[in-house]
């Protein structure tokens, strides 16, 4: 199916399902207490996420209470509570959402033979029974029920289609087919959704969802490819935190939709200028921040050191930036001065520091700067001022 076959209708929009507080929070180094979860929930609400997965109610009393607290504190987005396909899990999830304005129960069961046989010791027939029973139970509590077929990308297509059809018939309003272990490629992931749409006509009446992990570094690529396959809900996390290598990064998907509107002409509710502030807020509440070279929100995402790049940036930022820093909430881009910098960027910075140099002195300054940059990893403004002063003194002495 081509792009034109999946896009263009007025009702088409991308729904963002944020699982920072559930899938993200359960990864090493990302644990948050209830007060921190509430703070992040408010930030995610401000950002504009449509669904906020607040936790896994059965996992602990702390998670149960955190879901209740988030449900009470944040009223606009749908609040989702995760549950296995077990009666007690679903019941616990339902009670954790008692205070929610817009509750969703999200229940899941593995669909791959590997998981069924090795992990669950369950037959396909038993899986169908468990899944449909859980969805029916969840529908007795709420109208909004999501079913996830864990490890969908390594599942038999015929059985996966049976499971999807059965859970829709049981009352699921959203079907999520996750790439649980980050195994898929973009082409394969999009094709899986096309196959399901072809095999299960009832899919036309529900929302299809993608949930990708980054084990092969393709979580965002797979998520974007799923849109081509008919997906309209994307499950993701701030900064891509999550199990193992993490989840698809919300900010990267949002940026792709913004920059490549030609390919993904779908509206959504996110406020892009809050992407960086939300990323920073999360970094302050867990044990690590994004890597410097992290797309969109990393500290180097809008930094330029190479002389050719700096020259282009000074002429027109569009030469090396496909989006403005302000469009994602970054205060400004930065010219990082190092051994790869060129004369023009150095001259520009010296002008800003109040130490302009003529062409001859700038050339002398440049050679002194490169020698220093080869010895020193970080170059600060005081280094530049000192070099400029030395250069001026040396050239003045030589002319005398």
Domain ranges of the chain: 3-285, 303-399
CA dist., res. 247 & res. 369, Å (int): 42
Which neighbouring-strand residues pair with 179? Answer: 212
Residues 6+ apart with CB under 8 A from 203: 164, 168, 175, 196, 197, 230
- Mean pLDDT within 123-141: 98
Residue 241 tokens, joined: 């935190």
Token representation of residue 157: 């297509």
Evaluate whether 211 touches 178 at the Cβ level (below 8 Å). yes
What percent of the chain stands above pLDDT 70?
A: 85
- pLDDT value of residue 361: 83
Cβ atoms of 137 and 99 within 8 Å: the answer is: no
What is the band of 3 on the pLDDT scale with cuts at 50, 70, 90?
very low
Three-class SS of 171-206:
CCCEEECCECCCCCCHHHHHHHHHHHHHHCHHHHHC
What are the tokens at 329? 């909430």
Note whether 13 and 267 are within 8 A (CB): yes
In eight-state DSSP terms, residue 325 is G
Three-class SS state of 396:
helix
Checking DSSP bridges between strand 207-211 and strand 233-236, what pairing results, if any? parallel
Among residues 252, 255, 249, the alpha carbon closest in space to that of 237 is found at 249
Record the pTM. 0.81
Closest CA to 177 of 153, 156, 143: 153
Find out whether 230 and 11 touch, Cβ atoms under 8 Å.
no
Taking each continuous run of H as one helix and of E as one strand, the counts in the chain are: 15, 10
Q: Which of 54-68, 71-85, 305-319 has the lowest mean pLDDT?
A: 305-319
Query: Which fold, 3-285?
Result: TIM Barrel (3.20.20)
Q: pLDDT tens-digit profile of 364-380?
A: 888 887 887 777 766 66
Distances (CA, A) of 116 to 109, 160, 277: 9, 12, 41
Q: State how far the Cα of 331 lies from the Cα of 230, in Å rounded to an integer.
A: 36
User: Worst-scoring range by mean pLDDT, 112-121, 220-229, 231-240, 295-304?
Assistant: 295-304
């Amino acid at each position: 199916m081509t792009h034109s076959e999946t896009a263009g209708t007025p009702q088409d929009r991308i729904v963002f399902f944020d699982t920072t507080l559930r899938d993200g929070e359960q990864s090493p180094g990302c644990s948050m207490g209830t007060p921190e979860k509430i703070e992040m929930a408010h930030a995610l609400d401000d950002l504009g996420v449509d669904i906020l997965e607040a936790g896994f109610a059965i996992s602990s009393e702390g998670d149960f209470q955190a879901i209740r607290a988030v449900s009470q504190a944040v009223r606009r987005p749908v609040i989702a509570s995760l549950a296995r396909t077990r009666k007690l899990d679903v019941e616990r999830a339902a009670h954790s959402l008692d205070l929610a304005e817009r509750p969703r129960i999200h229940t899941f069961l593995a669909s791959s033979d590997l998981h069924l046989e090795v992990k669950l010791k369950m037959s396909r027939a038993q899986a169908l029974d468990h899944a449909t029973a859980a969805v029916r139970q969840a529908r007795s509590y709420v109208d909004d029920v999501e079913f996830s077929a864990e490890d969908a990308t390594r599942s038999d297509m015929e059985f996966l289609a049976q499971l999807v059809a059965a859970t829709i018939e049981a009352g699921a309003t959203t079907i999520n087919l996750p790439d649980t272990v980050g195994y898929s490629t973009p082409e394969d992931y999009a094709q899986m959704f096309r196959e399901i749409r072809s095999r299960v006509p009832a899919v036309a009446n529900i929302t299809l969802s993608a949930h990708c992990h980054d084990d092969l570094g393709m979580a965002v690529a797979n998520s974007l490819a799923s849109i081509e396959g008919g997906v309209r809900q994307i499950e993701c996390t701030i900064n891509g935190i999550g199990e193992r290598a993490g989840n698809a990064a919300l900010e990267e998907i949002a940026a792709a939709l913004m920059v490549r509107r030609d390919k993904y002409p779908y509206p959504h509710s996110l406020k892009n200028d809050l992407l960086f502030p939300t990323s920073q807020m999360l970094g302050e509440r867990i044990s690590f921040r994004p890597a410097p070279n992290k797309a969109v929100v990393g500290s180097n995402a809008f930094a330029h050191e190479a002389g050719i790049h700096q020259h282009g940036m000074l002429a027109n930022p569009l030469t090396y930036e496909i989006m403005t820093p302000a469009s994602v909430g970054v205060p400004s881009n930065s010219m990082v001065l190092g051994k790869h910098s060129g004369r023009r960027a150095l001259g520009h910075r010296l002008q800003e520091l109040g130490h302009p140099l003529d062409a001859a002195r700038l050339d002398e300054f440049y050679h002194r700067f490169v020698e220093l940059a080869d010895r020193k990893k970080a170059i600060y403004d005081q280094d530049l001022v000192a070099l400029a002063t030395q250069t001026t003194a040396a050239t003045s002495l030589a002319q005398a």
